[in-house]
Amino acid sequence: MSPNSSSSLVNTKLPFVPPPASPQSPRRLRKYQSHQSLTSTSYSSFGQPLSSAVGLNGNNSRQRDAASNGTTQDLQAEVTIRTRGRARSNSESGSSNVVSLVTATAKTRRPARKTDSSGYFIKRSGLDALLRDGPADGRLLETLQELRLMVLSNRVDADSDGMSTYRIYLWLALLGVPPLPTDEYLELVHRGRSPAYTKIRNDTFRTLATDPLFKRRVTEASLIRLLNAVAWKLHDAQQQNVKQPSSRPSSRRKELLELAIDSPPTIKEEPESESAPPIKPAIYVQGMNVLCAPFLYAARSEVEAFALFHYFVTKECPGYVRGAMDGVHKGLRLVDRCLEIVDPKLATYLFSKGMNAELYAFPSVLTLCACTPPLPEVLHLWDFLFAYGPHLNILCIVAQLNRMRDAILQSESPNKLLRSFPPLEADKVISLTVSFVRKIPDDLYDDLVDHAK
């Protein structure tokens, strides 16, 4: 694909190019037509990127009651019941018909199910089909909500290394990141060393150093290029004295979920203080290398990883990369507050031993649990976080503590146990996180949503 401007990439109708059969194929720039359709519709309909996957916000009682049962099936059933006129997905129905999702270009739909030689049905991935076909007749909100429910109830198809042919396009669609011209990234790379280059080089060689999957697929050179390009981008924004707009993506997610369950949205937009100067993000802080690693691992090109990572640190979690990392420290205090509510006995025991989250949870908060192997489970957890809001990472950390509670309560020195968390099991962590949502008071949940801004 030849690089063009962002608008031309969005509006140009390209023929569908199927993904390669193996994730080990040469890494080339590929874009799904549905990604172009989603980003084009989101900009034209709302005037801003659809960052905005729906969050499990605590202000909507009906939604949180659905999440309280702790199972993704109950949450999906609740939303299905309350949605008027939404066709059922293939995973919800025994019928062979799926939701009709077509792009502007007429094409023959593939059958949702096919049979093998013995006549048994072979189920096609609903996520794959939804990404390929895109939204039908402008049904962007319904399609995105359908996509999130599928993320909640089904794993992304991937091999044993966590590599998927469409995961990166899922992340781009959920976060509303438009296609980026390759020349824009290359221009930043060709500028050479940024003011943060020395700091970046001091960190990159340590990035997931003990993870053979990451080291086999991602080179240190690509990590340096991407972080250096992001540093130049942030540096330019500071030099031009341009304030990064506040997108409040979590509020937008809440609005979309309320629309999906046929409930009137109640969004409170906080007025910006005219006297307070804008808080500028740092161009690089220690730990950004680990936060960047899963983007590079899952992406099919550095350009895709750059677009996602830059969007994430400037719109989703800018408080994590400011010089004082105030968003991370707020998140650590929220881990303690949420643990007190979810598991008072465990929280009391840890506090009695002087174990606050500041002592053991800093890497998990900053990197969205990317510091806890294995990497394929991290990618699965990120599918959930990008669909329903990165603020839920705080509850994911509490869920990991809850799964360790017996060992912690029996230990005289829990600090030794908490130096490194046990291997991540994303399915169990997600299930516990969904069950914890109903227990969190509304005011505390609002703090969760806003802590990284």
Interatomic CA distance for residues 238 and 2, integer angstroms: 30
Beta strand spans in 67-207 (E): 113-115, 121-123
Instruction: Report the chain's mean pLDDT, rounded to a whole number.
Output: 75
The rounded percent of the chain whose pLDDT value lies above 70 is 63
| Residues 180, 303 contacting (CB under 8 angstroms) | yes
Nearest to 243 by CA among 234, 251, 252, 231: 234
Q: Of 161, 168, 196, which is closest to residue 19 (Cα–Cα)?
A: 168
Q: In this model, does residue 45 exceed pLDDT 80? A: no
| pLDDT over 50 at 427, yes or no | yes
Residue 280 pLDDT level (bands cut at 50, 70, 90):
low
The residues, ordered by sequence, that sit 6+ positions from 427 with a Cβ below 8 Å of its Cβ are 155, 380
pLDDT single digits (tens) 90-149: 333 333 333 333 334 444 444 444 444 444 333 456 788 888 888 877 788 888 888 999
Q: What CATH class does 324-452 carry?
A: mainly alpha
Q: What is the pTM of this model?
A: 0.68
Q: What is the pLDDT of residue 329?
A: 96
Query: Residue 10 pLDDT > 90, yes or no?
Result: no
Residues 6+ positions from 297 with CB-CB distance below 8 Å: 162, 213, 214, 217, 218, 375, 379
pLDDT band for position 279 (50/70/90)?
A: low
CA distance 7 to 180: 9
- Find out whether 216 and 415 touch, Cβ atoms under 8 Å: no
Among 34-48, 159-173, 316-330, the minimum mean pLDDT is found in: 34-48
Bridge partners (DSSP) listed for residue 113: 123
Identify the pLDDT of residue 143.
86
> Tens digits of per-residue pLDDT, 11-20?
444 444 454 4
The DSSP H or E segment spanning 72 is helix 72-82
CA–CA gap between residue 170 and residue 147 (Å, rounded)? 9
Mean pLDDT, rounded, for 314-333 = 93
Q: What is the pLDDT of residue 134?
A: 81
Tens-digit pLDDT profile for residues 229-265: 999 999 998 888 654 444 444 444 444 444 443 333 3
Q: What single-letter amino acid sits at 393?
A: N
Of 438 and 70, which is predicted with more confidence?
Answer: 438
Task: Look at residue 267 and tell me whether its pLDDT is greater than 50.
Answer: no
Q: Which CATH number fits domain 155-237+280-316: 3.40.50, 1.20.1050, 1.10.3470, 1.10.8?
A: 1.10.8
**pLDDT value at 269 more than 80:** no
160-171 residue pLDDT tens: 999 999 999 999
pLDDT at 216 over 60: yes
Selection from 366, 320, 360, 367 nearest residue 214 by Cα: 367
Give yes or no for a contact between 294 and 167, defined as CB atoms under 8 angstroms apart. Answer: no
- pLDDT score, position 125: 65
Q: Report pLDDT for 265.
A: 34
Instruction: Annotate 201-213 with b (16+ C-beta within 10 A) or e (fewer).
Output: eebbeebbeebeb
CA angle 14, 17, 23 (to 5 degrees): 140
What per-residue confidence (pLDDT) applies to 211? 94
